[in-house]
Amino acid sequence: MITSQSSPEKRLFNWQEQQQQQSNTKNDIDTTLFWTRNFIVLSIGSIMLTFIVTFVAVIYWCSKQQKLSKTKSHPSELSSFTTHSINVKASRPKEIKLFPIVPKLIQPNSSSFILPTIEDNNYNNLNHDRFTTDTCSTADSSSSSTAIATKKFRKKNLLERKAMEVESPTVCCTYWSKPTSLLFKRRRGSNNSLTISIAPKHRLLNSPPVDCPSDEYLLTATRKLTIDELHQHAQDARLLYHEFWTIPTNHLEKLRICGAGTKNRYGTIIANDHSRVKLSELPGDPLSSYINANYVTGYPNEYHAFIATQGPLANTIIDFYRMIWQEHVPVIIMITRLFEKNKAKCERYIPDSQPTQYGPFHIQIKSISYQTDYEIRRLIIEFENEQREIEHYWYTAWPDQSCPDNAQPLIELVKNVEKSRLELSNLNKHFGPIVVHCSAGIGRTGCFIALSNGVKQLDNEHIIDIVRILCDLRRDRGGMIQTNDQYQFVYQALSEYARTLQFSS
């Protein structure tokens, strides 16, 4: 009985155990299949990703090689002028200076190109053809005997609006690193002389070689132009470009006064030492004698006619008025806004309407006059129970990093400043220099002083020497007339003024 009763239970137990084993086996199989399937998927994904990355890398490498092959196979601009390759191993320069980009080449059938003139001269007379700074484009010396390339002018701006009114002169299109003669001997049996004339229509630049010392160049360089020559010269953008970059900037590299750097608005614009304005030193303050300002010579060789300076900083306003008082300044010309393109260009140093105290100086406004492009304020400065009147001209129409659209208001400003200078010098019983400043005190400031000296020279001599004017300015304060566009603007403005002289005469 006992055996018969336990037998079914044992069979049931065995059956359940078998079912359990089968279930465990099935679960193991499912787990194995799951991980096997995931491993296969991950392997396939990794292989595809590797293939894609490899494919992209191959494409990039092929495109890179294709660009390199095109660059190597593309002929240079001078390949048509040379018959053999020249390998030059350039030494590493000690200093790299960046200059504006030279205009690109254009086709000879363009309307704005310059060609050299071919003349039949005797070989004995060829030694008189010397290279001057009137030749104004670039070409390799090895190719100058086979072809002369023409170059494209940059797009004419407001400085060159009247370029079509005056026919540009014929000049040669070749730069040379050193002054030399363009001479080619007459070939035996040939009837013509292989001579390229480089004699320009302008008067030659009477200047030393470019590689001479800066002081010598600034002392001797000159180019005198008649009024007719000035009109032609002002339209030749390429010639003015070369003329501007030939003149040394004469920047002072290091300030010798320890601690005075805090009084400079820009670290690279430093007052040249020989012409620096020196203030009277205050007791216990050895830096009180320094201000970023230079005396500038006027026309004709007027000693200390101007003071070129930077826009005052918050910590130099009192020094600025100390200079005004010490030098008996009758007129101040300000050619900048307080802020341009969200950058501080000059600290406000004149009151709005109410009298203001700047250190020991009491400043009040007597009158205000508003002109088209500038404002005139008559200021009364009081110091130690003494009063003086000065005129403050604030020219606000000069756009940032550009030049004015119209030069006539600036010429008018030059004339009015001279009248105010004489009037106030008589009123204050002392003849002092005119203070001119922008932000750095070299760009717009240099343009105004150059215009003032140029107008006086045209009035008195009816000729102009802007090269000599710029050299004098840079000898007194480095970097005057900061950009090539400003230099062209000075030429254009004086050319327009010269036309008014011709019409009036």
Residue recorded with tokens 């070989």: 123
**Is 267 part of any domain?**
yes
> In sequence order, what E strands does 272-385 have?
276-278, 290-298, 302-309, 331-334, 339-340, 343-344, 356-358, 361-370, 374-383
Q: SS3 sequence, 409-437?
A: HHHHHHHHHHHHHHHHHHHHCCCCCEEEE
**Is 114 part of any domain?**
no
pLDDT the model gives residue 214:
86
Q: Please check if 28 is assigned to a binding site.
A: no
pLDDT in tens, 332-345: 999 999 999 889 99
pLDDT in tens, 291-305: 999 999 999 889 899
Q: Please check if 478 is assigned to a binding site.
A: no
Q: Please check if 438 is assigned to a binding site.
A: yes
| Burial state string for 182-221 with b = 16 or more CB within 10 A and e = fewer than 16 | beeebeeeeeebebbbbbbebbebebeeeeeebeebbeeb
Of the listed 172, 346, 403, 438, which one is catalytic? Answer: 438
pLDDT in tens, 244-301: 999 999 998 777 788 888 999 998 999 999 999 999 999 988 899 999 999 999 998 8
Residue 387 — pLDDT band, cuts 50, 70, 90? very high
pLDDT at 471 over 90: yes
pLDDT at 201 over 50: no
Q: Please check if 482 is assigned to a binding site.
A: yes
pLDDT the model gives residue 205:
53
Backbone angles phi, psi at 332, to 5 degrees: -120, 130
Q: For residues 381 and 387, what is the distance between their CA atoms, to the nearest angstrom?
A: 6
Reading the block at residue 266, the tokens are 């820009």
Contacts of 351 (CB under 8 A, 6+ apart): 363, 364, 365
Q: For residues 305 and 279, what is the distance between their CA atoms, to the nearest angstrom?
A: 17
Q: For residues 224 and 227, what is the distance between their CA atoms, to the nearest angstrom?
A: 10
**Is 218 part of any domain?**
no
Average pLDDT value for the chain: 77
CATH number for the domain that contains residue 442 = 3.90.190.10
**Angle of helix 443-461 relative to helix 408-428, nearest 10 degrees?**
80
pLDDT the model gives residue 99:
44
User: What are the C-alpha distances in Å from 452 to residues 295, 328, 380?
Assistant: 15, 20, 25
Residue 61 — pLDDT band, cuts 50, 70, 90? confident
User: What are the C-alpha distances in Å from 139 to residues 145, 173, 178, 194?
Assistant: 11, 8, 13, 18
Residue recorded with tokens 């620096």: 276
**Is 382 part of any domain?**
yes
Q: Please check if 400 is assigned to a binding site.
A: yes
Average pLDDT on 308-317 reads 96
pLDDT the model gives residue 209:
65
φ/ψ bin of 330: left (φ > 0), alpha (ψ from -120 to 50), beta (otherwise): alpha
Contact 363/381 with Cβ under 8 angstroms? yes
pLDDT the model gives residue 69:
72
**Is 473 part of any domain?**
yes
pLDDT at 350 over 90: yes
Report the domain count for the chain: 1
Which residue, 318, 305, 332, 304, is CA-closest to 390? 332
pLDDT the model gives residue 452:
96
3-class state of residue 462 by DSSP: coil
Residue 207 — pLDDT band, cuts 50, 70, 90? low
**Is 79 part of any domain?**
no
User: What are the C-alpha distances in Å from 435 to residues 309, 374, 456, 466, 491?
Assistant: 7, 16, 18, 21, 23
**Residue 497 structural domain:** 249-504
Does the annotation mark 403 as catalytic?
Answer: no
pLDDT in tens, 419-462: 999 999 999 889 999 999 999 999 999 999 999 999 999 999 99
Q: Please check if 442 is assigned to a binding site.
A: yes
Q: Please check if 21 is assigned to a binding site.
A: no
pLDDT the model gives residue 200:
41
Which residue, 260, 316, 261, is CA-closest to 437? 316
Reading the block at residue 433, the tokens are 């220099």
**Is 121 part of any domain?**
no
Contacts of 168 (CB under 8 A, 6+ apart): 114, 232, 235, 236
Q: For residues 132 and 3, what is the distance between their CA atoms, to the nearest angstrom?
A: 134
Q: For residues 351 and 334, what is the distance between their CA atoms, to the nearest angstrom?
A: 14
Element (H, E) at 59: helix 2-73
Task: Name the least confident of 84-93, 218-227, 321-330.
Answer: 84-93
**Is 467 part of any domain?**
yes
Backbone angles phi, psi at 195, to 5 degrees: -125, 130
